[in-house]
Amino acid sequence: MPAPAPDRGGELPVVFRRDVPLSLADLRAIQKQIETLVPRISPAVVAVELDSASGDGNVASGSGVVISADGMVLTAGHVCESPNREVRFEFPDGKVAMGKTLGLDEDADTGLMKIDGSGPWPFAPLANLREAALGEWVLALGHPGGFDSKRSLVVRLGRVVSVAPGVLQTDCTISPGDSGGPLFDIQGRVIGIHTAISSSLAENFHIPITEFYDTWQELAGVPVAPTTALASRLPAYCGARAVNATDGCRLSAIDKNSPAAKAGLKVDDIVVKIEDRNILAAASFERWMAEASPGQTLKLEIKRAGKPRIIKLKLE
């Protein structure tokens, strides 16, 4: 899987680091960033069509995003349905290519396809391995209702409204046909793939890019020795549980002799940051623990009785 692109969020206009736009100038800065970004990322967003897996002659459709010059395409697992299905890819400029589904993980709803031929194909960079932050500005791209030559690729602006293990929720409006399409951060990196549409237009769900890293070997059909496969699935153990609190993420329980206890964490500590990323809710804390590896050491910034502290937590 391609390596994530560098985080250059510090180079963005200041409006993207504010809770809300404060002026007309802020709105213009957002508009300018989007107008610059969309032509760069949209060539990699494809509509996909697959013959029905049941063989009834119907055609299933969805979206995807090319992530490498040789034509690897990320999509949702429910779009793939099964490996080795023929896929028709249509690019925003109308160019058509053929390919196949490679693999999927039903639990994570991750899917991988491959365009026939060596390319090079237009592709989009990936975000880093960590979660998107609450309130982060994002762009949802896709082909709602399937490819339509009479309109441009559909782009929707929104923000991350919830982060939980295995899922991002945004207020970007997505519709049938968008499934498998990309969610971009405002730097133009893929941070997620559309997976589920809520009954509310303002509540839609996306698979974080981390899930694709976690399931990549299954998606790509890479043989894995049993010991390696087992090690890659071993969860990291922290020994601390967290709850939402008015001042953020509060530790509610610490297991005796656990890594958290050995590191000096205590009940009622407020976790402010992990590896310099803000932790605004218990779900963010849980996600870091779910994605970390045994033996990894994380830097936590906490507050205890209102006083800041730095804790080094080595997971087991």
What pLDDT digit, counting tens, does each position of 114-155 carry?
999 877 999 999 987 666 788 899 999 998 887 777 788 899
pLDDT-based confidence at 52, cuts 50/70/90? low
Tokens representing residue 247 in the block: 């001042």
pLDDT tens for each residue of 84-110: 999 999 999 889 999 999 999 888 889
- 3-state DSSP call for residue 212? helix
User: Which pLDDT score is estimated for 129?
Assistant: 64
**Highest-confidence segment of 120-129, 222-231, 285-294:** 120-129
Q: How far is CA 76 from the centre of its chain?
A: 12
Sign of the alpha-carbon dihedral angle for 82, 83, 84, 85:
positive
Work out the mean pLDDT of the chain and round it to a whole number.
86
- 3-state DSSP call for residue 18? coil
Q: Given a cut of 90, is residue 192 above it in pLDDT? A: yes
Report the 10 Å Cβ neighbour count for 166: 18
User: Which pLDDT score is estimated for 57?
Assistant: 60
What average pLDDT does this structure show over 59-81? 92
Among 52-61, 124-133, 180-189, the range scoring the smallest mean pLDDT is: 52-61
Exposure string over 222-239, b if 16+ CB within 10 A, otherwise e: eeeeeeeeeeeeeebebb
- 3-state DSSP call for residue 218? helix
> May I ask the CATH class of domain 235-314?
mainly beta
Report the 10 Å Cβ neighbour count for 257: 9
User: Which pLDDT score is estimated for 8?
Assistant: 85
Q: 56 vs 102, which has greater pLDDT? A: 102
- 3-state DSSP call for residue 159? strand
1-233 topology per CATH = Thrombin, subunit H (2.40.10)
Q: Given a cut of 80, is residue 262 above it in pLDDT? A: yes
Interatomic CA distance for residues 300 and 275, integer angstroms: 6
Beta strands in the chain (DSSP E): 45-51, 59-66, 72-76, 86-90, 96-105, 110-115, 137-142, 154-164, 167-170, 182-185, 190-197, 204-208, 240-245, 248-254, 270-274, 277-278, 297-304, 307-314
Kindly report the pTM of this predicted structure.
Answer: 0.70
Segments making up each domain of the chain, as ranges: 1-233, 235-314
Checking DSSP bridges between strand 137-142 and strand 182-185, what pairing results, if any? antiparallel
- 3-state DSSP call for residue 136? coil
The answer to whether residues 52 and 59 touch, using CB atoms and an 8 Å cutoff, is: yes
Looking at this protein, which amino acid is placed at residue 56?
D
H helix runs in the chain, sequence order: 24-41, 77-80, 209-214, 216-220, 226-233, 259-263, 282-291
Checking DSSP bridges between strand 270-274 and strand 297-304, what pairing results, if any? antiparallel
User: Which pLDDT score is estimated for 199?
Assistant: 65
- 3-state DSSP call for residue 242? strand
